[in-house]
Amino acid sequence: MRLHEYQTKAIFRKYEIPTPRGKVATNAGEAKLLAEEIGGPVVVKAQVLVSGRGKAGGIRLAKSPKEAEELTSLILGREIKGFPVNKVLIEEAVIFTQEVYIAITLDREAGLPILITSGSGGIDIEEVALRSPEKILKQHLNPLLGIQDFHARLVAVNMDLPHPFWRQFAQILSETWKAFREHDAILVEINPLVLTSDNRMIALDGKMVIDDNALFRQVELAEYRWIEMENSIDTEARKFGLSYIPFSGTVGCMVNGAGLAMASMDLIKNFGGEPANFLDIGGGASAEKVGAALRIILSDVHVKSILINIFGGITRCDEVARGIVSAMHLIDTQVPIVVRLAGTNAKEGMQILASQNLVLAESLSEAARLAVGLSQRE
């Protein structure tokens, strides 16, 4: 679950990570009042769950409350990368002398948290990573010990941080680690963390991503979820307990079990195709669940065929087959669907599907080959 900037900063403040003064507005009138309350120039920042807001015109400087009102009217209701702007953060403008970047995330390959830092923070950090990778410092962290003093010293030296900032920088790094660990985060990012002429460090922007699997123990964060701002497909998948990840291929996949899903995608590639998604329906195969899975797959206009690969264990294949039949009555599609059933009551399941407008396969290899072939038809 991704958090909005204002939600992330609320967490930062709990850990005494300095942030600019600011509040959220949902209309232009509120924005004007908040700008008057803050005093001086303010920044109007669109609250959407995408990167690149600044380059898309979603972050604007207002020199007066009246200008803040006008800019809020322009920003609210518009879309940034397909996401509507329903709220803006009105925040004091901060004059700074340097921008740096810090983030803690998970290195899944190493199985460890990793601290990523750079002395060249700001909106072009991706370009820095591509063109000057030597400016990016990465350090793996012991999950039991977190950030130690030597990590902070190494980062400070690497980014040529002026010595008066070292102590507060070490404190911010330490508190960032605590926020990461205590909120079951998979990413905490401050970009930029700025240095001011009066020797302060302020987190001008922040991002947090929380592990969805840990929300059961992060009850207060679960309340932060802003459903209307999430991808509707993600919301649909979560509603029905489906694990869905979109790709860029043309063969849609519906499989029960993550391992079997990976094997199915491997075979699709082996036969010259490209999977359009990973979708694990898990246990059970009601018409509602199968129908939801098919709707999600078919929402991708690039899908030219669908492979349904089910291995019956606790979930019997005849139950899955009935779910598919019921779902087919609910969904009108011309996309060809290949089905392979194996395991408990597979024969009975195939008999149930025989009268449907489906392509039935005896083996996974045959199913993958057929699905790829159908996806490549003109």
Residue for token digits 């958090």?
3
Name every residue whose Cβ is closer than 8 Å to that of residue 221 and which is 6 or more positions away in sequence.
Answer: 1, 3, 183, 210, 215
User: pLDDT per residue over 106-162, tens digit each?
Assistant: 999 999 999 999 988 887 777 887 888 888 899 999 999 999 999 999 999 999 899
- 286 lies in some domain: yes
What angle (nearest 5°) sits at the alpha carbon of residue 235, between those of residues 318 and 210? 115
Residue 188 inside a domain? The answer is yes
**pLDDT the model gives residue 55:** 84
Q: Looking at residue 257, which CATH number applies to its domain?
A: 3.40.50.261
Looking at the fold, whether 192 and 311 belong to one and the same domain comes out as no
Q: Is residue 257 part of a domain?
A: yes
CA dist list (Å): 228 to 10, 225, 236: 21, 9, 12
Question: Are 250 and 340 part of one and the same domain?
Answer: yes
Residue 298 belongs to some domain of the structure:
yes
Asked if 121 and 183 sit in the same domain, the reply is yes
Domain at 73, CATH number: 3.30.1490.20
pTM for the model stands at 0.69
Alpha-carbon distance of 204 to 12, in angstroms, equals 11
Residues 36 and 146 in one domain: no
What pLDDT was estimated at residue 285? 63
Q: How far apart are the C-alpha atoms of 290 and 349, rounded to whole Å?
A: 15
pLDDT at 232: 66
Same domain, 110 and 176: yes
Residues 67 and 129 in one domain: no
pLDDT at position 219: 79
Cβ-proximal residues to 29 (8 Å cutoff; 6+ apart), any chain: 69
pLDDT of residue 299: 86
CATH number at residue 198: 3.30.470.20
Are 80 and 131 contained in the same domain? no
User: End of a domain among 63, 92, 121?
Assistant: 92
Domain boundary among 197, 222, 247: 222
- The reply to whether 205 and 236 lie within a common domain is no
Structural tokens at position 378: 């003109």
Same domain, 217 and 239: no
Domain of residue 59, residue span: 21-92
Write down which residue in 42, 70, 92 finishes a domain.
Answer: 92
Measure the CA–CA gap between 350 and 226, rounded to whole angstroms. Answer: 42
- Residue 206 and residue 245 in one domain: no
149/181 same-domain check = yes
- pLDDT < 50 positions in the chain: 228-229
- Exposure pattern of 227-266 as b/e (b: 16+ CB <10 Å)? eebeeebbebbbebebebebbebbbbbbbbbeebbeebbe
> According to the model, what pLDDT value does residue 230 have?
54
Residue 312 is predicted with a pLDDT of: 84
Torsion of CA 134, 123, 229, 209, to 10 degrees: 30
- CA dihedral (14, 16, 22, 25) in degrees, to 10, reads -20
> Active-site residue numbers?
101, 189
- What are the tokens at 54? 């600044």
Number of domains in the chain: 3
Residue at 45 is within a domain:
yes
In eight-state DSSP terms, residue 15 is T
The three-class DSSP label of residue 278 is: strand
97 closest CA partner among 201, 171, 206: 201
Residues 152 and 55 in one domain: no
